[in-house]
Structure formats: structure tokens, C-alpha cells
Amino acid sequence: MLTRRIIPCLDVKGGRVVKGVAFLNHRDAGDPVALAAAYDAAGADELVFYDITASSDERAIMADVVERTAAQVFIPLTVGGGIRTTDDMYRMLRAGADKISINTAAVLNPQLIEDGAKRFGSQCIVLSIDARRVPPSEGTGANDAPPRWEVFTHTGANARATSLDAIEWARRGVALGAGELVINSMDADGTGSGYDLALLRAISDQVGVPVIASGGVGTPNHMLAGLVEGHADAVLAASIFHFGQYSVSDVKHYLAAQGVPVRQ
């Protein structure tokens, strides 16, 4: 049986791993290569390196981090942040990444999804979507209308609204060739109060590719909910692991005890 994946995400800035609360106030949580090896040993199913600054000179640092990690860690590695062209993708794949995560650049240029999928295969292209719940329209009394989520670009303090509907964008991304989706709830991110399950379920039930839940994890129970109620195929988390609140193996033991198939 295909197992559900637990994926630690390492936000990398200037060659170091950081993780902020709601993407802000970065705290240093260590060396990416050492952390990657530690997560591999602890049973992580994949790893994500997210380059949160991604100026062009820092991308060279990132390629070096990827290269050094890939020489030691033999599980799938995804790299995201600042990838704008298929040549950027190639550089990271060449350094040792297995998949490339794109977000803002895909919204600005959806062709990038198709070009990347054609050049490297859909299995290489992960579309990451930052979504925020649209408040119910005021004064219409339409409180029973289905919830909607809007796509934002430029993850972080300067996030920009796009007016794209998150479910529509997810479907389009898959049609263009995205092989997996990361769904990040901006409302939940950094709160530690759990994933936006309605958002996850709405997207997972409408696409034929794996969906990775992101944003809001505070406990292993939140991961269980993301997988069972949110219909996600994998869960991504950062701070909960980096600061030792729970280990990957704690989470796996918990999920296994609840009947979720995980890699032991």
C-alpha cells in the first residue's frame, strides 16, 4: 500500500535553515546538510528546501547546499524559491534536486509549468499554491455559499492578491503538467492550529495528482486530520520538527496507531 508521506520543509536563507512564524521573524535552526541527514535518519520520507530570499547570488549558495545534501541523503529532495525559468530548474536538478517547486513564477507565467513538465517530466514539477480564504460577501446574507480561496504570490510579508481562485488555479496547474501540488493555507500558516481542511479537501478531490498539505501544523493530530479529513497524500511541516516539539518518528508512530499507512 502506498504510504502517506511526512515531509520536513527547511526554509533556507544564505545557506542556513530558518523558520519564521507566519513567514516572519526568522530564527536560526541550523545547517541544512546536517538537518537533512538528521531528518533522513529520523525517517523523513522526503525533504523540501525552500530558498526564502533567492537573490541570484544566493541561488549559487543554494545549489551548493543541494549538491552537498544530495551526496549524503538518498531520499527525494525538492527545491523551491526564486525559480523563474527552466534553466533555473535545470541548475537545481543538476545539483541534485529531484523536484522543483514553483509558486509566484508560475502565476506570472503559467507556461513555466508546461515548459518544465515537457523538459523534465511532470514528476519534477511541484506547483505550490499560497491561498487565503475569501471572506463571505458582506450584506448579501449568502453565508451558505461554498467557501472560496484566493491565490497569493510573493510568499511572506509582501504577499500580493491575484484574484485567481485557488481551486481553479490548482486544476489549471495540473492540466499544464504539474505532477504534485503543495497547498499552503496563509490563514493557518504559523498559527499551529491545524491545516485548512476544507481547502485541502476541495482541491484534493478535484485533481488526479498528489496533494501535499502545508501551513498550520501544531500537533501530530493536525497531520492526521490533513491526511484523513483533508484527503491529502502527504504533509509538510517545519517548525514542529525543527525545534524538537515532535520528531518525525513520533508523528509516524502516532499516525500508524491511528491506522494511517506510513513508512516504518
Residues that bind another protein (CB under 8 A): 1-5, 40, 45, 70-72, 74-76, 93-94, 96, 98, 120-124, 179-180, 208-210, 233-234, 263-264
Nearest to 17 by CA among 62, 60, 63: 62
Active-site pick, 51, 130, 196, 233: 130
Least separation, in Å, of the C-beta of 74 and another protein?
5
DSSP, res 55: -
- The whole-angstrom separation of Cα 93 and Cα 13 is 19
CB-based burial label for 40 (10 Å; 0-12, 13-18, 19+): buried
Least separation, in Å, of the C-beta of 163 and another protein?
29
Least separation, in Å, of the C-beta of 30 and another protein?
21
Question: 223, 217 in Cβ contact below 8 A?
Answer: yes
Measured CA distances, 184 to 130, 133, 149, 189, 258 (Å) = 5, 11, 11, 7, 24
- The whole-angstrom separation of Cα 12 and Cα 97 is 15
Q: Which is nearer to another protein, 163 or 264 (CB)?
A: 264
Q: Which is nearer to another protein, 189 or 233 (CB)?
A: 233
* CA dihedral of 232, 237, 240, 244, whole degrees rounded to 10: 120
- Per the annotation, the verdict on 28 as an active-site residue is no
Q: Which is nearer to another protein, 153 or 204 (CB)?
A: 204
Grid coordinates representing 93?
536538478
- Per the annotation, the verdict on 11 as an active-site residue is yes
Least separation, in Å, of the C-beta of 94 and another protein?
7
Q: Which is nearer to another protein, 27 or 94 (CB)?
A: 94
The residues carrying an active-site annotation are: 11, 130
